[in-house]
Structure 1
Amino acid sequence: MHDAPAIARDRNRLQHSRRALAHSVSPAAWRRTLEFRRADPTVAIAVRVGRAGAIVLVVGGLLGRTEIAGFAALGSLAAAFLRYEPYPRLARKLAGVAALIVAYTALGAALGVAAAPIWSQVVLVSAGAGIAYWLVLVFGITGPGPVVMIFAAAGAAGFAGTWADAASVTVASALGGLVGWLVAMAPALSHPHSPSRVAVARALAAVSATEQQGAESVPAAQAAIDRARETIALTPKRRVDEHVHELAALLDVAEDTLTDQEPGRSRRDDFARLEAELRKVRSDLRTPRTKTPGSPPVTVPAPDHLRAAKDKALWFSASRVGLASLIAGTFAVAVGLDHPLWATLGAIATLQGVNYGHAVQRAIQRLLGNAAGALLAAALISADLRYWPIVAVIVVCQMGAELTVTRNYAVASTFVTAMALLLTTIGHPGGTDIAAARVGDTLVGVVVGVILAALTIRPDDRHHLPSAA
């Protein structure tokens, strides 16, 4: 006898997946890819990423090691992660990110030296993608995600033919990671309060937004205040000064405003002014106070990574990424694409979406951005530029990606794709056909990612439906 409720649930899930797939080709989904979101200013982050990349590429060129300079640049991309973390936490997490990039570079290099069949490379790299994604989720690593690690592995697999090659690319990646870490941590010496200032600015913006968005936005604003308090609490004791107390007092004012039914226009205007000031590199602003400066210290609990590691939802997400990478890579091999490991990147990037609607948006934007970036890279490759002009373009692309990634992922993907293709050809030039290969592999990856996301969509995920838009 059939279980009627189970049959009904299966039918509802199938209908939900079918509607989700239909959304991926709807005009509304494609229109959303053109939207530019309001985002936090990212000039400082863009400069630090560009500076890290420029240092390693210039040093590689001066030393005459242009063939491995690209791997050093990939290591330096550690500086693109964890943009809002307080410095004590950033130091630990960023070291872990750099170590991951180095480890995946070494893995790819070992596969190349072993002349592993492409099928086994796809299997191992796909497993590595799932593991990297799981680590990113467990340790709360924000930023580009595991695509950087997988791209490093794919590049090293194609480059390393001997153990000497494997050693050189691994060392280059490690040195690049060290440079990325140093560049990201350098502002801790001159501007130690920058993370706290940005966190408070974001909290003020969230509180101000409640005036237009209503009561439903209050929990998000309170969460922003809590995050800002946590960031301030992580300020090293030797760095706690009057300005830190001012920032804590300003959060008290913001929390009072959040619970005050009639806060008054003047306080909202103060928030708008102070938000702009807090994003500048200054420490002399004066904050309005309603309480005594120096709120009681906030106790920051240690992250429970062990508990997160046992979270079944995280295991499911990581397994889904690994499976999508495996399917995309296998299909790319089966149809004879030149760089099947690149197909995994499109699948990974798609499944990093926070919900199905976001995943579809990322998939479309990545495809459009890859096409535009491939055209740009093809034009530059055909121009037969020498090493130094290519370095300049790569640094500009790194900075462009960081400036636009939180505003429009398609534009950011344009810069990322051009940068990736130029890094691939730097030191050992290739033809423009590599650009077309990138688009083909990306198409495979995003299609697989969208289909798998639709088939595994959560029953409560309805962000893609018109009523939830």
Structure 2
Amino acid sequence: MSAIPCDQRRVRLPVRAALQLGPLGDIWHKPAMSGVAALAVVQLALLLAGRLDLVLYASAGAMCALYCHGLPYAARARALAWTVLGMVAGTAAALVTAALTDSIAIRVAVAALLAGLHKAACDITRIGPPGNVVLTFVTASAAFVPQHLSEVPFHVGLAVLGGVVAWVVGMAPGLVRPDGPERIAVARALEAAARLVRARDHTEDPHHARHAAEAAEAAVNAAWQTLLSSGAADRQALGRLLVQAESAVPGRSAEALMAYARELRKGRPLPEPSAADPRPAAIEEDELAGVFAERRMPARGSAFGRFLLDLARRWRVVVMVTAGTALAGLASMALGVGRPYWAVVTAAAVFAATTTLSWSRALQRVVGNLVGVGLFTLLAPVTRLGALALIVTVLALQFVTEAAITRNYWLGSVFVTPMAILMTQFADTQPVPVLVADRWLDTCVGVAAGLLACVLLLDRRAARKP
């Protein structure tokens, strides 16, 4: 894919669907607990050292603990290390920029370019939630922190230490449940297959059945990818269970598939498919051998080389996001807002795969931030009772955010917004009315600029593809 395809055709811009709440995510507590643990370590350590002014730098690396929770631990170790490296590199570039120039326009330009690179890199690697927004938030903020060049190595070193904490926190659950991600992926596939069987057996609505089939196919494919990147000892047994999901047909018991899924999620011994299952064992073994053989196929070129090639191919994504975020930052600067990097982050968050999705994300961002600044106003007096109260509030917001955002992006934004504002208060306390006005104005500017860039920098070739 060479670009973010903003749809060229006339589209409906739904409001109700964009704000509708979905179910709570099944593993929301994993990034929530990891994020809180990593941030708590670095923030409490700096509190004890009496240097809360350094929270931004250490938190840059610590926030990487939010990533990679769907990956098997062998793959997670590599992906999380690359995520930390990317975060540290972006933070270093932003800090050097802040040290070398006082020009707000140049700082906005650098933050915007980093935002474009973050979007393309996250699309290529499919790193998953929270995607490019956290990377852009941290680096854009760093570009506007007062800085001397001599301080940069120390501050970057703090980011590295925070990243080490994030890596350790992210890998620690593997000591207790080393095959946890694989079990969750296969359980999701089994549950989706069970829903497909029920849709075929108990509904006459073809749209519902087709949606269930698409969801089951996506879950099965995701589970195969998880197993292919896994070194778990039970990989073959998990693969046999996954075959049960992949071969879901009318007549197969949905209850049996759900029972397998429950056993996997509870960490119990792997269930054995019953003899009544229609797929013969020999066929299952042949299919498993073929699928797992793909993992042994040699890759062409190094992973880093392929990444750079894919990045070069996605130049339009980089241009589109860079232009939109730069426009947002410069407009915010022209309006005299004190924190144009908030507009940069908002514009970066708006970009999605289609115009309709971008509109939905923009609406969600506006609604979430509007409610979020109100929540910040209520919490501000509490956070000013002392440094510990500020830390506890930030950690609580981080935890709730991970639950809320699985239900809808706007609901997550309600809690992200006060947390993002409070992160700026570790180094310097600002008047609440100024913070609220800046955040709300930057949200509106960022949303407008992001949508404008999506429309003007339309990929017409991608839009014409069926």
Whether TM exceeds 0.5 here: the answer is yes
In structure 2, the CA distance between the partners of 1:217 and 1:14, relative to structure 1 (3 Å rule), is: closer
In structure 2, the CA distance between the partners of 1:16 and 1:99, relative to structure 1 (3 Å rule), is: closer
Instruction: Answer yes or no: is the 8 Å Cα contact 1:49–1:79 preserved in 2.
Output: yes
| Residue in 2 that maps onto 1:6 | none
1:126 matched to 2:119? The reply is no
Give the Cα separation in 1 of the matches to 2:69 and 2:458: 29
Give the Cα separation in 2 of the matches to 1:53 and 1:81: 14
Which protein has greater RCO, CA pairs closer than 8 Å, 6+ apart? 2
Give the Cα separation in 2 of the matches to 1:80 and 1:409: 16
Q: Which consecutive unaligned segments of at least 5 residues does structure 2 have?
A: 200-207
| Residue in 2 that maps onto 1:356 | 355
Give the Cα separation in 1 of the matches to 2:47 and 2:193: 49
Q: CA deviation at 1:67?
A: 0.8
Paired residue secondary structure (1:186): helix
| Residue in 2 that maps onto 1:74 | 60
In structure 2, the CA distance between the partners of 1:75 and 1:277, relative to structure 1 (3 Å rule), is: same
Instruction: Answer yes or no: is the 8 Å Cα contact 1:74–1:148 preserved in 2.
Output: no
Q: Say which of 263, 271, 278 aligns to 1:286.
A: 271
In structure 2, the CA distance between the partners of 1:51 and 1:193, relative to structure 1 (3 Å rule), is: same
Give the Cα separation in 2 of the matches to 1:438 and 1:104: 23
| Residue in 1 that maps onto 2:410 | 410
Q: Which consecutive unaligned segments of at least 5 residues does structure 1 have?
A: 1-12, 463-469
Give the Cα separation in 1 of the matches to 2:138 and 2:22: 30
| Residue in 1 that maps onto 2:222 | 227
Give the Cα separation in 2 of the matches to 1:285 and 1:139: 31
Instruction: Answer yes or no: is the 8 Å Cα contact 2:6–2:463 preserved in 1.
Output: no
| Residue in 2 that maps onto 1:345 | 345
| Residue in 2 that maps onto 1:9 | none
Give the Cα separation in 2 of the matches to 1:15 and 1:287: 47
Q: How does 1:240-319 map to 2 (within 5 A)?
A: 240-241=233-234, 244-257=235-248, 260=249, 262-264=250-252, 267-280=253-266, 282-289=267-274, 290=277, 291=281, 295-296=288-289, 297-300=292-295, 302=299, 306=305, 309-310=308-309, 314-319=314-319
Q: CA deviation at 1:410?
A: 0.8
Q: Say which of 20, 23, 30 aligns to 2:15.
A: 30
1:146-187 per-position Cα deviation (integer Å, ceiling 9, x unaligned): 322332223323333323443333222211111111101111
Give the Cα separation in 2 of the matches to 1:305 and 1:69: 31
| Residue in 1 that maps onto 2:203 | none
Give the Cα separation in 1 of the matches to 2:264 and 2:318: 37
| Residue in 2 that maps onto 1:8 | none
- The letter of the residue matching 1:441 is D
- The letter of the residue matching 1:228 is A
| Residue in 1 that maps onto 2:204 | none
- The letter of the residue matching 1:36 is L
Instruction: Answer yes or no: is the 8 Å Cα contact 1:356–1:461 preserved in 2.
Output: no
Q: Say which of 32, 43, 63 aligns to 1:57.
A: 43
Give the Cα separation in 2 of the matches to 1:207 and 1:306: 37
RMSD: 2.7
In structure 2, the CA distance between the partners of 1:451 and 1:313, relative to structure 1 (3 Å rule), is: farther
| Residue in 2 that maps onto 1:437 | 438
Q: CA deviation at 1:140?
A: 2.4
| Residue in 1 that maps onto 2:398 | 398
Give the Cα separation in 1 of the matches to 2:222 and 2:104: 45
Paired residue secondary structure (1:253): helix
TM-score by length of 2: 0.85
Give the Cα separation in 2 of the matches to 1:357 and 1:15: 8
| Residue in 2 that maps onto 1:86 | 72
Q: CA deviation at 1:15?
A: 11
| Residue in 2 that maps onto 1:376 | 375
1:109 matched to 2:87? The reply is no
Q: How does 1:84-233 map to 2 (within 5 A)?
A: 84-211=70-197, 212=199, 213-215=208-210, 217-233=212-228
Paired residue secondary structure (2:430): coil
Give the Cα separation in 2 of the matches to 1:173 and 1:346: 23
Instruction: Answer yes or no: is the 8 Å Cα contact 1:60–1:68 preserved in 2.
Output: yes
* Matched-pair identity in %: 28
Give the Cα separation in 2 of the matches to 1:308 and 1:218: 32
| Residue in 1 that maps onto 2:32 | 46
| Residue in 1 that maps onto 2:205 | none
| Residue in 2 that maps onto 1:7 | none
- The letter of the residue matching 1:210 is L
| Residue in 2 that maps onto 1:466 | none
Give the Cα separation in 2 of the matches to 1:79 and 1:199: 20
Instruction: Answer yes or no: is the 8 Å Cα contact 1:69–1:172 preserved in 2.
Output: no
Give the Cα separation in 2 of the matches to 1:75 and 1:361: 30
Structure 1, 387-396 or 448-457: larger mean CA deviation: 448-457
| Residue in 2 that maps onto 1:447 | 448
Give the Cα separation in 2 of the matches to 1:279 and 1:14: 39
Instruction: Answer yes or no: is the 8 Å Cα contact 1:343–1:445 preserved in 2.
Output: yes
Structure 1, 147-156 or 442-451: larger mean CA deviation: 147-156
Instruction: Answer yes or no: is the 8 Å Cα contact 1:138–1:305 preserved in 2.
Output: no
- The letter of the residue matching 1:30 is V
Give the Cα separation in 2 of the matches to 1:209 and 1:445: 40
- The letter of the residue matching 1:354 is A
Paired residue secondary structure (1:159): coil
- The letter of the residue matching 2:243 is D
In structure 2, the CA distance between the partners of 1:167 and 1:371, relative to structure 1 (3 Å rule), is: farther
1:117-169 per-position Cα deviation (integer Å, ceiling 9, x unaligned): 00111112111211222222222222222322332223323333323443333
Paired residue secondary structure (1:33): helix
